[in-house]
Amino acid sequence: MNTTRKLLIAANLKMNRLPDGALDDDSPYREKGNVDVIAIPTLLDIQQCLDAQIITGAQVGQCHNETTGAHTGDISMQMLADVGVRYVLCGHSERREFHGETDEDVAAQAIAALDANIHPIVCIGESSEEREAKKHEEVIERQVRALPIESDITIAYEPIWAIGENALRAATSEEAQEMHAFIRSLLSAERGAITRILYGGSLKKKNAKELLSQKDIDGGLIGGASLNLEEEFAEIVKIAQELSQE
């Protein structure tokens, strides 16, 4: 890990309700002094998290780039900002695959978030076929170049083959570090020094230390393990805290 960038652990709850204990005073979702921790629940649970003073993000789904208007079923970034949301998750591979979101759509979401003073966490990642064909760097570069990379954003590298119920495996620490370093090389020297790049993809307590120890990995975007509060998510946060104190 790099000591100049504070580790960020983000819980992506996907299409799941908050687990028991999520809003407790000692909830693992609460920010720790030396590690940033945020919860990214469904829209139904955002207000509960905000009321409990948990730093909260939103999963960008039907989120329109306009602030208001005749867009049935959509909400705007400004609406999220108005209720206190501080982060949004954009570009997840599940949105790209199942809802047809393009690089241009994701970039527009990130820009709309920035305009509303919300910090975007933007997901990028390659498929197993693209990696096997040795096109993974080409795919990642295309996705990164589409983004407002000279603005204040966080990038989450989530190889598609490592996430979800059909995950093949987690990336090794060497694979993850190699890709994170490549992503950082696409940024300007000034922006690359301060932009946090998270790893996501079967990150659990058993591999958290090895992954989070890498110099270009600045935290984790946690999916399934974020629902197992005590046995998984709390342990990942604890490991991040220990690494931050080294």
Q: In the chain, what are the domains?
A: 8-244 (3.20.20.70)
Instruction: Note the residue count of the chain.
Output: 246
Tracing tokens 């209720």 back to the chain, one arrives at 83
- β pairing state of 63-64 and 75-76: parallel
Tracing tokens 């789904």 back to the chain, one arrives at 61
Token couple for 203: 């990150």
Instruction: Say if residues 221 and 10 touch (Cβ distance below 8 Å).
Output: yes
pLDDT in tens, the chain (246 residues): 677 899 999 999 999 999 999 999 999 999 888 999 999 999 999 999 999 999 999 998 767 778 889 989 889 999 999 999 999 999 999 999 999 999 999 999 999 999 999 999 999 999 999 999 999 999 999 999 999 999 999 999 999 999 877 777 889 999 999 999 999 999 999 999 999 999 999 999 999 999 999 999 999 999 999 999 999 999 999 999 999 998
Tracing tokens 């997840």 back to the chain, one arrives at 92
Query: How far is it, in rounded angstroms, from Cα 180 to Cα 202?
Result: 16
pLDDT at 61: 76
Query: How far is it, in rounded angstroms, from Cα 16 to Cα 10?
Result: 15
pLDDT at 168: 78
pLDDT at 163: 86
Which residue among the candidates 92, 136, 180, 235 is catalytic per the annotation? 92
pLDDT at 1: 67
Q: Is 235 a catalytic residue?
A: no
Instruction: Say if residues 26 and 229 touch (Cβ distance below 8 Å).
Output: no
CA 19 to chain centre: 19
pLDDT at 165: 72
Token couple for 219: 């935290």
State the DSSP H helix or E strand holding residue 131, giving kind and residue range, or none if neither.
Answer: helix 128-132
Q: Is 92 a catalytic residue?
A: yes
Three-class secondary structure of residue 78 per DSSP:
helix
Which residue among the candidates 126, 158, 232, 235 is catalytic per the annotation? 158
